[in-house]
A and B are shown apart, each in its own frame.
Chain A
Amino acid sequence: ETGVTQSPTHLIKTRGQQVTLRCSSQSGHNTVSWYQQALGQGPQFIFQYYREEENGRGNFPPRFSGLQFPNYSSELNVNALELDDSALYLCASSPDPQQPQHFGDGTRLSIL
């Protein structure tokens, strides 16, 4: 048990729609990072939030956005969904950015 819970576990959307994925970390984990894992590949860093502010971003377009809340939960929002957005979305948390990250089981997003 990593103490990181993601919801929903699976989601099906169509092109052009918007989606919100949620992550709940354990108390005291002020850092949350989001990753996209396409089938057969390693996870790719999307962005990180630390104490409710964005603390770094990977090579993803602005239609990928996020929020972190004081209760150690966070969201990943994706607008104007594209077929290539189909992937497993993982969140990972840690007490601070320098500590090892612990992952949730992810949300499998399928775009039709």
Chain B
Amino acid sequence: TQLLEQSPQFLSIQEGENLTVYCNSSSVFSSLQWYRQEPGEGPVLLVTVVTGGEVKKLKRLTFQFGDARKDSSLHITAAQPGDTGLYLCAGAISGATNKLIFGTGTLLAVQP
């Protein structure tokens, strides 16, 4: 069974602080995606990383895929209240389905 563990589960920080969310597995994924989900809405795709060691930046968000394609991290610089939400990583299992295995999620609250 493929499992993706995220840490921390909950994070409450002040506006302007930096934070890192981790996503770890013992399985190798063909790609890994990060989503943000707000209450009452579906997950919104932030980024897809495909190559081991790949780093992608999206404004204040930096995503890294581990060299072995088993883990990933999301770093947010100078967090803002608008960053509040549930952050989900999802690993794609190679094959006909390319189904997504979701992590347990990190609930981030950024206080003004």
A: residues with CB less than 8 A from B are 2, 4, 6, 33, 35, 40-45, 48, 55-56, 58, 90, 92, 97-98, 100-106
Contact = CB atoms under 8 A, between A and B. Distances in A.
Given A100-B45, A104-B42, A105-B42, A45 B96 contact: no
Contact of B42 (A41, A58, A98, A103): A103
Given A100-B33, A100-B48, A43 B99 contact: no
B105 A90 contact: no
B97 A97 contact: yes
A102 B90 CA distance: 13
A95 to B, nearest CB: 12
Interface of B: 4, 33, 35, 40-45, 48, 88, 90, 95-105
B42 A45 contact: no
A102 B99 CA distance: 13
Given A41-B104, A90-B42, A102-B45, 5 more contacts: A43-B90, A43-B102, A55-B96, A55-B97, A103-B42
A105 B40 contact: yes
B88 A42 contact: yes
B34 to A, nearest CB: 11
A100 B105 CA distance: 19
A90 B105 CA distance: 16
B99 A41 contact: no
A103 B97 CA distance: 16
B45 A42 contact: no
Contact of A97 (B42, B98, B104): B98
Given A100-B33, A100-B48, A2 B98 contact: no
Contacts of B101: 45
30 contacts: A2-B42, A2-B44, A4-B42, A6-B42, A33-B99, A35-B102, A41-B105, A42-B4, A42-B90, A42-B103, A42-B104, A43-B90, A44-B102, A45-B99, A45-B101, A58-B99, A92-B100, A97-B98, A98-B98, A100-B33, A100-B45, A100-B48, A101-B45, A103-B35, A103-B43, A103-B44, A103-B45, A105-B40, A106-B41, A106-B42
